[in-house]
């Protein structure tokens, strides 16, 4: 084991928040990360390990079989559960739909309950007193200070990117524990989010009266609670940041200085709550970071700010980006026709000059994208493609972005989605729209086109609260859910077979997570992107797909 210099004081050092490409400065920062590359492989029957063998309690294993019909853990869960139970800092990267979040929740449920620690002054009687060569002249009895366990407190905090995913986690736990006989789940899990129908004071009251084993919520709401200091996080055991790259949104390594300075000036809520918890905790809590798009910059951020100590980086992707069971299609929507994206376009000299900087940046990213934390060479790739995903911004060129944008009243785009929905004979699908669009308004417009559209936040979350996850696919047929690209990140709806992406994704990472809503747990899925055929849009989307190494297939119903 490699020992990293320990910082005795609880007060965090005033370190920079963002990596600023100052490699000389980084040499003095401890950067030891144990890396485990664990690509999926077929296991012999003797090598297969059930949940009990990973450390999960038999009662929970029985509930998994009864309510979720799950007996064998996924490859990702087999790798991440043991180190989480050991209390190690863990950084996890795996494909979308691999069961990362579910595995983390199972491990946290099996952790022992945290309790407050109370210092008690105890009187020592004459039989406990040691004889002294020089007895004290004072006749007062001797005392000693001991630490005893007090009432239970919050054991783990799980920070999630959306309200929907937070309520889904609550639904998982409710299904697991529905036969245990608890009169209330508040001592086990509580969800804290913002909302018009949610009273913040009531949330604080519940946390004070019944500190939960798991506190689950969004970064903004948890940061407010931590900052108010009404709830005690002094004895917190574990802090989880799921979809950490989205929660922090660190600038890429080629980001302009203005963006870096603006990010330093306006830190994200997830960053603020992490620092507050680290300062309030009596000892550094265990840190768990998970995402399908964890890259070097994110790992360096946690190590540079000393949020993790000797972390274990678990990469279960096997050198791939998207699940192999997903097929990808891209359609260019023009004013008079719809066509498949061209494999290659011959550019004029002016277009080559205009795009030269973009090609140069992509080439430079590939050249310098080596995994600097990997002391054992990754046999999957000569360079780590994940290092580039968050650095590629599809809307980085403001002038180009303005030209390729379309409005939410673009009937041509909605007609294209309608035709594709009817041709595919979809039972359950999801349509992702740009963040600037009004979801309820677009749902109303889709109804006029004859589509069974529903807003994801209003419809799915109610069903997640009412039914176990394994029954979810049986009650959501003939539905096209509508959501923005950020709101559905991490959500797991097993019955989704098709993903429609309307317009240019804001980044390559966003495309990856939107596409990952289908093809979950080895199922077959299809992703169809609809891009307005305007100047520069085709080249932009092609570059992004090339960066992700996605094999885009021609859509069979379009020439």
Query: Residue 489 has which token pair?
Result: 């990140």
**Strand 115-123, strand 143-152: pairing:** antiparallel
- Mean pLDDT value across residues 81-88: 96
> What is the DSSP annotation of 443-505?
HHHHHHTT--EEEHHHHHHHHHHHS-GGGGGGS--SEEEEEETTTTTT---TT--EEEEES--
pLDDT of residue 133: 54
Sign, Cα dihedral of 326, 332, 335, 337: negative
How far is it, in rounded angstroms, from Cα 458 to Cα 129? 67
Are 346 and 309 members of one domain?
no
Residue 278 within a domain:
yes
Nearest to 19 by CA among 254, 267, 301: 301
Residue 8 within a domain:
no
Convert the pLDDT of each residue in 106-119 to its tens digit. 999 999 999 888 76
Are 239 and 346 members of one domain?
no
Residue 135 within a domain:
no
pLDDT of residue 373: 34
Please list the residues that pair with 525 across neighbouring strands: 326
Is 190 in a helix, a strand, or coil? strand
pLDDT of residue 523: 86
How far is it, in rounded angstroms, from Cα 369 to Cα 386? 9
pLDDT of residue 463: 58
Are 463 and 504 members of one domain?
yes
The one-character DSSP state at 552 is B
- With a pLDDT cut of 70, the percent of the chain lying above it is 70
Q: Higher confidence at residue 268 or residue 25?
A: 268
Residue 28's H or E segment, with its range, is: none
Res. 401: pLDDT tops 80? no
Res. 82: pLDDT tops 90? yes
Res. 57: pLDDT tops 60? yes
Of the residues 264, 289, 315, the one at which a domain ends: 315
Indicate the pLDDT class of residue 359, thresholds 50, 70 and 90.
low
Between helix 100-109 and helix 75-86 the angle, nearest 10°, is 30
Nearest to 502 by CA among 517, 488, 482: 482
Residue 511 CA, chain-centre distance (Å), reads 14
Nearest to 392 by CA among 368, 358, 367: 358
Are 394 and 270 members of one domain?
no
Are 367 and 492 members of one domain?
yes
Are 305 and 423 members of one domain?
no
Residue 475 within a domain:
yes
Convert the pLDDT of each residue in 199-251 to its tens digit. 899 999 999 999 999 999 999 999 999 999 899 999 999 999 999 999 998 88
User: Under 8 Å CB-to-CB from 402, ≥6 apart: which residues?
Assistant: none
Q: Which domain holds residue 204?
A: 23-114+151-315
Convert the pLDDT of each residue in 439-453 to its tens digit. 999 999 999 999 999
Are 98 and 177 members of one domain?
yes
Res. 99: pLDDT tops 50? yes
CB 166 within 8 A of CB 160: yes
Res. 53: pLDDT tops 60? yes
pLDDT of residue 134: 53
Residue 433's H or E segment, with its range, is: strand 428-433
How far is it, in rounded angstroms, from Cα 543 to Cα 393? 11
Total of domains in the chain = 2
CB 317 within 8 A of CB 307: no
pTM for this prediction: 0.76
pLDDT of residue 20: 41
Residue 27 within a domain:
yes
How far is it, in rounded angstroms, from Cα 465 to Cα 538? 41
Query: Residue 222 has which token pair?
Result: 């948890």
Is 515 in a helix, a strand, or coil? helix
Lowest mean per-residue pLDDT among 78-87, 321-330, 375-384, 517-526? 375-384
Residue 129 within a domain:
no
pLDDT of residue 400: 43
Lowest mean per-residue pLDDT among 112-121, 255-264, 522-531? 112-121
Residue 138 within a domain:
no
- Mean pLDDT value across residues 122-131: 55
Residue 80 CA, chain-centre distance (Å), reads 15
Of the residues 283, 315, 347, the one at which a domain ends: 315
Are 287 and 334 members of one domain?
no
- Mean pLDDT value across residues 335-354: 72
CATH number of the domain encompassing residue 295: 3.40.50.300
Residue 211 CA, chain-centre distance (Å), reads 25
CA distances from 540 to 331, 355, 495 (A): 13, 10, 31
pLDDT of residue 381: 40
Please list the residues that pair with 484 across neighbouring strands: 433
What are the start-end ranges of the H helices in 229-380? 244-248, 257-265, 269-280, 296-304, 349-367
CB 287 within 8 A of CB 307: yes
Nearest to 483 by CA among 463, 464, 461, 465: 461
The one-character DSSP state at 133 is S
Lowest mean per-residue pLDDT among 308-312, 328-332, 343-347? 343-347
Sign, Cα dihedral of 442, 447, 452, 454: positive
Of the residues 293, 315, 337, the one at which a domain ends: 315
Residue 6 within a domain:
no
pLDDT of residue 37: 62
Query: Residue 87 has which token pair?
Result: 């209390």
pLDDT of residue 350: 58
Task: Report the mean per-residue pLDDT for the chain.
Answer: 79
- Mean pLDDT value across residues 466-491: 67
Are 194 and 275 members of one domain?
yes
Indicate the pLDDT class of residue 6, thresholds 50, 70 and 90.
very low
Nearest to 94 by CA among 377, 263, 289, 369: 289
Q: Higher confidence at residue 103 or residue 49?
A: 103
Are 330 and 282 members of one domain?
no
Nearest to 305 by CA among 26, 4, 27, 12: 12
**Strand 156-160, strand 115-123: pairing:** unpaired
Lowest mean per-residue pLDDT among 38-52, 449-463, 509-523? 38-52
Res. 387: pLDDT tops 70? no
The CA angle 472-474-479, to the nearest 5 degrees, is: 85
CB 170 within 8 A of CB 189: yes
Residue 194 CA, chain-centre distance (Å), reads 19
Please list the residues that pair with 340 across neighbouring strands: 331
Are 230 and 337 members of one domain?
no
How far is it, in rounded angstroms, from Cα 543 to Cα 547? 6
Convert the pLDDT of each residue in 412-422 to its tens digit. 999 999 999 99
Res. 123: pLDDT tops 60? yes
Indicate the pLDDT class of residue 361, thresholds 50, 70 and 90.
low
Lowest mean per-residue pLDDT among 24-28, 96-100, 183-187, 290-294? 24-28
Q: Higher confidence at residue 40 or residue 552?
A: 552
Q: Higher confidence at residue 162 or residue 457?
A: 162
* Strands laid side by side in the 286-291 sheet: 34-37, 312-315, 90-93, 286-291, 238-242, 156-160, 214-218, 189-192
Are 465 and 378 members of one domain?
yes
């Amino acid at each position: 084991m490699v020992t990293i210099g320990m910082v005795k004081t609880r007060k965090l050092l005033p370190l920079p928040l963002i990596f600023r490409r100052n490699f000389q400065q980084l040499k003095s920062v401890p950067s030891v990360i144990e890396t485990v590359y664990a690509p999926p492989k077929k296991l012999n029957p003797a090598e297969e390990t059930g949940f009990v063998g990973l450390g999960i309690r038999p009662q929970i294993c029985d509930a998994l079989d009864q309510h979720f019909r799950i007996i064998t853990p996924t490859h990702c869960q087999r790798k991440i559960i043991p180190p989480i139970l050991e209390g190690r800092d863990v950084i996890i990267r795996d494909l979308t739909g691999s069961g990362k979040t579910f595995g983390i929740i199972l491990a946290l449920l099996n952790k022992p309950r945290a309790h407050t620690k109370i210092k008690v002054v105890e009187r020592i009687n004459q039989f406990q007193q040691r004889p002294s060569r020089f007895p004290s002249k004072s006749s007062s009895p001797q005392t000693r200070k001991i630490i005893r366990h007090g009432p239970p407190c919050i054991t783990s905090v799980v920070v999630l990117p959306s309200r929907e995913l937070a309520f889904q986690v609550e639904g998982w736990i409710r299904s697991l524990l529905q036969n245990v006989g608890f009169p209330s789940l508040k001592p086990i899990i509580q969800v804290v989010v913002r909302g018009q129908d949610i009273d913040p004071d009531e949330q604080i009251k519940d946390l004070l009266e019944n500190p939960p084993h798991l506190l689950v919520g969004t970064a903004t709401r948890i940061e407010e609670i931590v900052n108010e200091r009404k709830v005690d996080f002094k004895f917190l055991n574990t802090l989880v940041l799921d979809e950490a790259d989205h929660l922090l949104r660190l600038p890429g390594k080629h980001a302009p200085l203005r963006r870096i300075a603006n990010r330093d000036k306006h830190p994200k809520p997830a960053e603020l709550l992490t620092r507050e918890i680290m300062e309030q905790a009596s000892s550094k809590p265990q840190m768990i970071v998970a995402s399908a798009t964890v890259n070097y910059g994110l790992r360096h951020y946690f190590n540079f700010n000393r949020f993790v100590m000797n972390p274990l980086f678990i990469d279960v992707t096997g050198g791939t980006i998207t699940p192999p069971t997903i097929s990808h299609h891209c359609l260019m929507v023009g004013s008079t026709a719809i066509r498949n994206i061209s494999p290659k376009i011959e550019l004029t000299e002016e277009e080559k000059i205009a795009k030269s900087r973009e090609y140069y940046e992509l080439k430079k990213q590939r050249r310098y994208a080596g995994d600097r934390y990997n002391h054992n060479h990754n046999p999957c790739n000569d360079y780590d493609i994940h290092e580039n995903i968050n650095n590629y911004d599809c809307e980085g060129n403001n002038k180009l972005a303005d030209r390729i944008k379309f409005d939410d009243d673009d009937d041509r785009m909605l007609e294209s989605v309608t035709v594709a929905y009817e041709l595919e004979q979809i039972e359950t699908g999801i349509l992702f729209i740009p963040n600037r669009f009004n979801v309820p308004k677009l749902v109303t417009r889709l109804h006029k086109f004859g589509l069974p559209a529903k807003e994801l936040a209003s419809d799915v979350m109610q069903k997640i609260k009412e039914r176990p996850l394994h029954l979810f696919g049986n009650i959501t047929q003939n539905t096209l859910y509508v959501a923005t690209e950020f709101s559905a990140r991490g959500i797991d709806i097993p019955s989704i077979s098709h993903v429609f992406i309307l317009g240019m994704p804001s980044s390559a990472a966003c495309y990856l997570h939107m596409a990952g809503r289908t093809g979950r747990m080895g199922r077959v899925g299809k992703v169809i992107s609809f891009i307005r055929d305007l100047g520069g849009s085709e080249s932009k989307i092609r570059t992004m797909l090339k960066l992700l190494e996605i094999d885009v297939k021609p859509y069979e119903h379009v020439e």
